[in-house]
Amino acid sequence: MVKFSWPVRVYYEDTDAGGVVYYANYLRFMERARTERLRQLGVEQQALRESSGVLFAVRSAELDFLRPARLDDALRVSAELVECRRASLVFRQDVYQDGDESRVFCGARVRVACLAASTLRPHPIPDFILQGLTRGN
């Protein structure tokens, strides 16, 4: 499957009292990378909801915090699709030093569910999204 990454800079607002990235902010960085992956395919979240009546929501996330990222660090956040089911996707995501994929700060496995916007119940992922994610665009 295709590996996608998105740049992130650590700002003061991302850090805690110890000067390192607050743990919950890694989830925010990962959300941005998944959103930008869809945007790369021409899928805007609000337009998807309006045109197809579906939305995506995180179903589960398992994170490993490996080392602290700090203020002003230049990072990249990957979003690699590793599993695809009828109404859910699983992404392998790493937050790593820009220019050095081996220096990983946080790694995760994130399951995202496709839901009908009107009921918030599972809904099949639209084919054009599946094709884009698995085709290598």
Alpha carbon distances (Å) from 8 to 15, 25, 81, 100, 121? 13, 11, 20, 14, 32
Partners of residue 81 on adjacent β-strands: 91
Whether residue 72 lies in the annotated active site? no
Query: For 38-74, how does the pLDDT look when each residue is reduced to its tens digit (9 = 90+)?
Result: 999 999 999 999 999 999 999 999 999 999 999 999 9
Any idea which residue has 């995180």 for tokens? 58
Q: Which residues 6+ apart lie within 8 Å of 23 measured at CB?
A: 63, 65
Highest CATH level, class, for 5-135: alpha beta
With contact defined as beta carbons under 8 Å apart, do 33 and 95 qualify? Answer: no
The single residue of 16, 64, 98, 127 carrying the catalytic annotation is 16
DSSP state, residue 28: H
The whole-model pTM stands at: 0.93
Q: Sketch the domain layout of the chain as residue ranges.
A: 5-135
What would the pLDDT profile of 113-133 be if each residue is shown by its tens digit? 999 999 999 999 999 999 988
C-alpha 39/C-alpha 57 separation (Å) is: 16
